[in-house]
Amino acid sequence: MHAVSQAQEGSTAIAIDAADAVTTGAVSRWRRWLRGWGPALAMCALALAGLLLFDHLTRGFQAVTSDGVRRIDLVRAPRPLPPIQLVDSSGARFSLADIAGPSGQSTLITLVYTHCVDVCRTAASGQAYLQQELRARGLDQQVRQLTISFDPKRDTPEALRAYARSMQADPLRWRFASVADAADLARLLKAFEVVVLPDGRGGLVHNGAIFVADPLGRLVQTYDLDRPDQALADLLLD
């Protein structure tokens, strides 16, 4: 019996050793596989994560710039304008949230500063083009225009009046204004997602667009500054 017991113990030990050998071999093969394919899998996972992030940031690969993303977001979810107090070129105060007026008009909005010599010139010429075309098509009663300065220190009502005259703006249709309280400037820029930075030479670097506010006082669309014709075409469709 003792011999049988020893034989059984020996068989068990051999089986355990065999199992350990199999396990060790499997682990060794797994480690070799990881060394061979692990970096490639990690790169694939990283690429997939980057692709998913890019898909989110570009709203399903539909936009490659922040302005494009903003355009898509506004179409999907119109954004109410905040009740920021503005002061126009005549010195009158009004709320940005009330620009549609009691008759419910759409408004074309641009943000500028009057000392600008590049981007703002494009914005101003685009608004001037729209003023002319809206009048020619009899739409100047349904669509208003608003140019807002983000440089309230220099763009006083007097400066805005001079700027409006240089644009040959119709004061009944095209209004020029700035924030009544400089403390509201950051909130204004955030509402339009406009970034303004000093250029180190007394000027400002900024992005811009032609913004459309609907008769409910909501931002609903944007257009590139050099495409006022596209804004006009969509207004004609409406």
The three-point CA angle 184-187-192 to 5° equals: 130
The pLDDT tens digits for 5-34 are 544 444 544 444 544 554 566 667 766 765
Q: Which of 30-44, 129-143, 160-174, 183-197 is the least confident region? A: 30-44
Asked if 177 and 148 touch (Cβ cutoff 8 Å), the reply is yes
According to the annotation, is 44 in a ligand binding site?
Answer: no
Average of per-residue pLDDT across 72-98? 94
Q: Which two tokens stand for residue 8?
A: 């059984």
pLDDT, the chain, mean:
82
Asked if 221 and 212 touch (Cβ cutoff 8 Å), the reply is yes
Asked if 177 and 139 touch (Cβ cutoff 8 Å), the reply is no
Residue 196's nearest CA partner among 116, 128, 123 is 116
Query: What pLDDT does 117 receive?
Result: 79
Q: Which two tokens stand for residue 17?
A: 């050793």
What region does 149 belong to: left with phi over 0, alpha with psi -120 to 50, or beta?
beta
181 Cβ contact list (under 8 Å, min separation 6): 85
Q: The domain at 80-237 falls in which architecture? A: 3-Layer(aba) Sandwich (3.40)
